[in-house]
Structure 1
Amino acid sequence: MKYLKFLLIILPAALFFSCDSYSDEELNAFDAKIEKYLKRKNIECKKSASGLYYKILEEGEGDFIQFTDKVMVTYKGSFLSGETFDEQTEPIELKVSEQINAWKEIMLQLKKGSKAYMIAPPQLGYGGYEIEKVPPNSILVFELEVVDVM
């Protein structure tokens, strides 16, 4: 019985994560698209070990956001084409732990009042899944502001 429970938990998780793995060639292609976009727009960003491109626009004040925190944020999400797929101009409450990997990663570097710009390759966004207006394997551009940390 314990073995069955183990399989019911581990197998779906393994399938979920294996469906979204990318080859080195694919990862390099995502990077090339992002770097071309940044060069064309004359934007300088840092690149994290995970592949997230980001720029902290305003540092904010207080303690850094924790993984278990809730935050009030405003944001704009778009594609490299400039087309907006989501925008929240009024603050919305989000749990950091429930966001896409790109958001989880950047949030840990932000504080109340921080503003950031980031470009998330598919492996840090929605991967190969289609989510509402976001096609599979999309590179996502976000501008966000942390209004409050709870």
Structure 2
Amino acid sequence: MRNILLIAFSLVLFTSCSNDDSVDYVKRNDNDIQAYITANNLTAEKSSTGLYYVIDNPGTGVQPTTTDNVTVAYKGYFLNGTVFDESNENGITFNLQQVIKGWT
């Protein structure tokens, strides 16, 4: 009985872990983002980390380094146009070492 349960569990485990390698989600997401950019007539740029961004009001002064504190005003959107996060109108200040790669 114990062996039957072990075999049954193994079958469930292996059949439920099927891997569909035929879908390239990175490419599909990139295509969706490109379509959004085109449909909304944006001039977005893509960083080396894959983050798409638009600079509405470029800052002035010296380019920050990866260890600097910066103040930015931002708004993040899902592809359906829903805002998922944004700073207040005065922006937010943070150290570039404490954020995701896309910010640096």
Higher RCO, Cα 8 Å, sep 6+: 1
Structure ID, larger Rg: 2
TM-score strictly above 0.5:
yes
Q: TM-score, normalised by structure 1?
A: 0.47
Deviations 1:28-68 (A, max 9, x none): 11111101111111112233343232333333221101110
Q: TM-score, normalised by structure 2?
A: 0.64
Structure 1 segments unaligned to the other structure (5+ residues): 1-23, 105-150
Q: Which residue of 2 aligns with 1:95?
A: 95
Distance 1:53 1:97, change over 3 A: same
How many aligned positions are there?
81
Q: Which residue of 2 aligns with 1:61?
A: 60
Deviations 1:112-136 (A, max 9, x none): xxxxxxxxxxxxxxxxxxxxxxxxx
> Residue 50 of structure 1 aligns to a residue in which SS?
coil
Q: Which residue of 2 aligns with 1:36?
A: 35
Distance 1:47 1:74, change over 3 A: closer
The structure that is strand-richer by fraction is: 1
Cα RMSD after superposing both structures: 2.1
Structure 1 distance, partners of 2:85, 2:55, is 21
